[in-house]
């Protein structure tokens, strides 16, 4: 049965999603981003208690091996639909949620069947025997700038032959464009490192005009997580200053090209002890932290208007 005591493969996640859609038909809707290179459907769920609430879009598992992201995204979907706490009811009822628990479906499947540490997509290249592209370097915003991605097909951060070379990123960009007036917050779930990263990734010297607001939101997020029983530390700040330069990412593209003001990459547990292979016993603690952080992030975003 489905739950959050172990990690699940794609088929189990999709079967669970179907169950959820069947159990909560009046507030859920299935959507599709499009097809992956290997022909899989990239699925999402919309949760809405009435039309035209402010929208929050969650993209998860763009990197295949980051299994804690889809585990946390599915848990979060379940909470929005079943929790009775006031905080979570408010989140569920006051926003339109668009959640894609497993974005890199081909890579995720491959990480379950062949190589647990696979990161990229699964499309081959004409000029190399190496496979796949870093989906989070393939978006058409400052693509390949400032050494924030690689032109080597064998690199883990290969940006692709061109922006949108991967059907997955192209499909996501088209889907996001089609609903761009329906969401105002964009979140990209990753692991690991315990960071809340704001734009930009493409430059260490350029900052968005609302950087101070994003820092305040970051402080609220990290503070809420620190206050839980686990006392876990999250570091917040701009991607390029806190982590490294990363060009052509989904969050930067949404921020720059769709003109969104609030976009973050969340890097979940841990800080490298287990890394990508986070023990299943840490799924639920990570989820608690996600919820506390989310409530604070959204509260602070509203306060700042």
Catalytic residue positions?
267
Among 28, 72, 265, 301, binds ligand 0X9 (CB under 6 A): 265
Tell me which residue has tokens 């609030």. 262
Question: Which parts of 39-68 interact with ligand 0X9 (CB under 6 A)?
Answer: 63, 66
CB nearer ligand 0X9, residue 28 or residue 119: 119
Q: Binding string, 129-148, against ligand 0X9, x = CB under 6 A?
A: -------x------------
Among 96, 252, 270, 289, binds ligand 0X9 (CB under 6 A): 252
CB nearer ligand 0X9, residue 59 or residue 252: 252
Q: Any residues with CB less than 8 A from the CB of 40 and at least 6 apart, and which? A: 10, 105, 106, 109
Determine if 190 is a binding residue for Zn ion (CB under 5 A): yes
Residue from 115, 105, 127, 268 nearest 191 by CA: 268
Among 141, 249, 256, 301, binds ligand 0X9 (CB under 6 A): 249
Measured between alpha carbons, how far apart are the two ends of the chain, in Å?
Answer: 42
Q: How many residues bind ligand 0X9 (CB under 6 A)?
A: 15
Among 8, 40, 43, 63, binds Zn ion (CB under 5 A): 63
Give which of Zn ion, ligand 0X9, none residue 239 binds (C-beta under 5 to 8 Å, depending on kind): ligand 0X9
Give which of Zn ion, ligand 0X9, none residue 166 binds (C-beta under 5 to 8 Å, depending on kind): none
Closest distance of CB 107 from Zn ion, Å: 11
Residue 242 burial (CB count, 10 A): 16
Residue from 207, 221, 203 nearest 265 by CA: 221
Give which of Zn ion, ligand 0X9, none residue 252 binds (C-beta under 5 to 8 Å, depending on kind): ligand 0X9
Q: How many residues does the chain have?
A: 305
Concatenate the DSSP letters of all residues of 55-116 into one string: EEEEEE-SSTT-HHHHHHHHHHHHHHHH--SHHHHHHHHHSEEEEES-S-HHHHHHHHHT-T
Report whether 219 contacts 303 (CB < 8 A).
no
Determine if 251 is a binding residue for ligand 0X9 (CB under 6 A): yes
Please give the DSSP secondary-structure letter assigned to residue 145: G
Determine if 201 is a binding residue for ligand 0X9 (CB under 6 A): yes
List interacting residues with Zn ion (CB under 5 A). 63, 190
């Amino acid at each position: 049965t489905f739950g959050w005591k172990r990690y699940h493969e794609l088929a189990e996640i999709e079967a669970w999603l179907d169950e959820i859609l069947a159990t909560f038909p009046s507030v859920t809707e299935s959507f599709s981003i499009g097809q992956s290179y290997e022909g899989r459907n990239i699925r999402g769920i919309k949760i809405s208690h009435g039309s035209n609430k402010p929208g929050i879009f969650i993209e998860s598992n763009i990197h295949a091996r980051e299994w804690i992201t889809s585990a946390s995204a599915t848990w979060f979907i379940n909470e929005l639909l079943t929790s009775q706490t006031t905080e979570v009811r408010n989140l569920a009822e006051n926003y339109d949620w668009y959640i894609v628990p497993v974005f890199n479906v081909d890579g995720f499947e491959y990480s379950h069947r062949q190589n647990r540490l696979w990161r990229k997509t699964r499309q081959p290249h004409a000029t190399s025997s190496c496979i796949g592209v870093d989906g989070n370097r393939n978006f058409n915003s400052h693509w390949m700038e400032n050494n924030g991605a690689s032109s080597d097909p064998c690199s883990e951060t290969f940006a692709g032959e061109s922006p949108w070379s991967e059907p997955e990123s192209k499909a996501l960009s088209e889907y996001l464009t089609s609903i761009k007036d329906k969401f105002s917050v964009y979140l990209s779930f990753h692991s690991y490192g315990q960071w809340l990263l704001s734009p930009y990734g493409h430059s260490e010297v350029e900052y968005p005009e609302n950087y101070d607001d994003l820092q305040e939101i970051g402080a609220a997020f990290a503070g809420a997580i620190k206050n839980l029983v686990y006392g876990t530390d999250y570091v917040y700040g701009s991607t390029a200053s806190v982590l490294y330069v990363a060009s052509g990412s989904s969050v930067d593209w949404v921020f720059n090209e769709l003109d969104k003001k609030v976009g973050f990459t969340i890097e979940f547990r841990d800080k490298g002890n287990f890394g990508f292979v986070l023990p299943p016993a840490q799924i639920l603690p990570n989820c608690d932290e996600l919820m506390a952080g989310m409530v604070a992030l959204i509260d602070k975003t509203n306060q700042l208007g």
